[in-house]
Chain A
Amino acid sequence: MKTSSPTDRSLEHPIIWVAVIGGALGSILLLKAVAWLAFPLILAIVLYYLVQPLLQKLQLAGVTPGQALGIFLGAATVLTVIFSILVLPKMLNFLSEFQNQIPTYWERLQSVLRDNLLALEDRFAFAKKARLADGMEDQLNVFLAGSGKEYVADVALFLLHWLPSLLLVPFLTFFFLRDGTAFHRLVLRAVPNAFFEKTLLLFDRMDAQMRAYFRGMFGLTMLDTVSLGLGLWFLGKGPGIFGFWDAMFLGLICAIFAWVPYIGSGIGGILAVATVAVKAPQSSGLMLAVIFLFLGVRLLDEFIYTPMTVGRALRMHPLVTVMMIFSGGMLGGVYGLLLAMPLLGIFTVLGQMFAEIWFDPRLRARYQARGMLEKRLASRDLGI
């Protein structure tokens, strides 16, 4: 009885791939329903995969797993205290200054948009006919008078709602790191003997997939941050727009946006161009240079960074990727946009392994045989 590897029979059954996509989208809905718990849980899983290699390195240096966890917790506490004393006050000052500057920035952004649209109207008759500049201004005024205020209130409520649940993150991460192996064994105890080896393999593949994805995403974010940050700093240091750390911070924000495939890079690019527009409204050449910088980093991402970090393990057909992201966004908002691809990756492995078990008649026969043995054992003295 030869068993083929799960990769070559992966999603050949339509029922399986429909179930994979349905499972991923269903999970987005489910996670959205329990978002207050799912959000810290997902962050804790990400942290777990990022911290685990550090603990492994400590263990390689000769300390026990418990000591490694203790050393890490001690170091994390010291760093948090240092951060709270040295960096937090500066950050709060910066945010306070930024808040005071928002009306000025907004006016500048509006004026840059208006100037550019007026330039378009001068060149193209259809744009003049459509009265793009006036139309945009009207729309913005309506937005600010109505739903804009509501959005600000929504964001404030959102932050108030999420902050307490974020306190769960270090708590959950600690227990994942400490009791992860024991929990893994507990779950596996429930698996019937016939499917046990395959299930273990499934767990291992899911673990490897998630580890590769989260570590890869972390590496990719760092590379994007450095590339964009250095590029923005280089472009902005002449006109005095960005300091080094400002550029790096903006690079980090854009790199985080890029977690959402295809769409995120665009949003990050718009954010960077808007920042340049606000800081130096007259330099349209610089805005163009920032657009080219984003295109360049996008190409680096595609051909060098992503293969180096995340790899091609989660690579799906672009059509499937875009459809999944939009469906995820529709069902779960920002949450769905971010989770659609990792969930699809996990459900693909689950689907592959389920197919492997379900379409193996020998494994099912062994499972049924065990049931019969149990029945025989239970009715041995009943004479039936």
Chain B
Amino acid sequence: MGLVVREDEDMNLANLFRPPPLDPILQVVSGVAIFRECTRGELETLKLHLHERHFLAGEIVFDEGEEGEGMYVVIRGKLRANRKGLLAKKVLGVISPGESFGEMALLGAGERMATVVAEEDSTVLAMFRPELQALAQARPRLGYKIAMGVALVLESRLRKVAEGDSSQPSAT
């Protein structure tokens, strides 16, 4: 019986010189607008400062009016952003995997402008202002990229609001 040689990807010598595939969580993070400019190494560093949290369907992530400390990136599931209206809650939008919310809290302490609730069981990554500040002190280039990312996201949302498109979960 002769030796069977499998010609799958593992046996391809070219793969030895390729970096290993990106962590599935970082794959999602790399697609988020704020982190799009980050290199692979920077994403690996960033991962050390991201906190994975699991929310059950119906659970509140944060409340409108409470002091915000950081932003979230949705990895799995679906969340909904609401705002108090005069008569009823106003749904601002649905947040899906690969999207972020609560970015304004990264820029400075302030009240959350909406309530975010998990519509289905969801996994999110949280990044907090004090940790971002520490990260930016140690890695200024990464800090600059994230700050620019936040600024661009907010700018785009403001533009949409000015143009009358309220489908985005803005200003959380």
Contacts and interface: CB of A to CB of B under 8 A. Distances in A.
Interface of A: 1-3, 5, 56, 59-60, 65, 181-182, 185, 188-189, 193-194, 196-197, 200-201, 204, 362, 366, 369-370, 373-374, 377
A369 B48 contact: no
26 contacts: A1-B65, A3-B66, A60-B140, A188-B51, A189-B52, A193-B54, A196-B51, A196-B53, A196-B126, A197-B69, A197-B128, A200-B131, A201-B69, A201-B130, A204-B128, A204-B130, A362-B63, A366-B60, A369-B58, A369-B60, A370-B59, A373-B56, A373-B57, A373-B58, A373-B59, A374-B56
Nearest to A188: B51
B48 A185 contact: yes
Contacts of B76: none
B62 A197 contact: yes
Contact of B66 (A1, A185, A193, A370): A1
Contacts of A182: 48
Contacts of A185: 48, 51
A290 to B, nearest CB: 43
A87 to B, nearest CB: 33
A212 to B, nearest CB: 14
Identify whether the interface residues of B are mostly helix, strand, loop, or mixed.
Answer: mixed
Which among B48, B55, B56 has the highest number of chain A CB atoms within 10 Å?
A: B56
Given A2-B65, A197-B128, A200-B70, A56 B138 contact: yes
B111 A2 contact: yes
Nearest to B137: A56
B48 A59 contact: no
A374 to B, nearest CB: 7
A47 B151 CA distance: 37
B90 interface: no
Given A197-B70, A204-B128, A366-B60, 4 more contacts: A1-B66, A5-B67, A56-B138, A374-B56
Contacts of B159: none
A257 B66 CA distance: 45
Nearest to B130: A204
B139 interface: yes
B56 A377 contact: yes
B53 A193 contact: yes
Contacts of A5: 67
A193 B55 CA distance: 8
A59 B69 contact: no
Contacts of A369: 58-60
A200 B49 CA distance: 12
A55 to B, nearest CB: 8
Contacts of B55: 193
Given A60-B138, A197-B70, A1 B64 contact: yes
Contacts of B111: 2
Given A185-B48, A188-B51, A201-B130, A59 B138 contact: yes
Given A59-B138, A200-B70, A193 B65 contact: no
Nearest to B70: A197
A3 B111 CA distance: 9
Nearest to A360: B66
A182 B48 CA distance: 7
Nearest to B109: A5
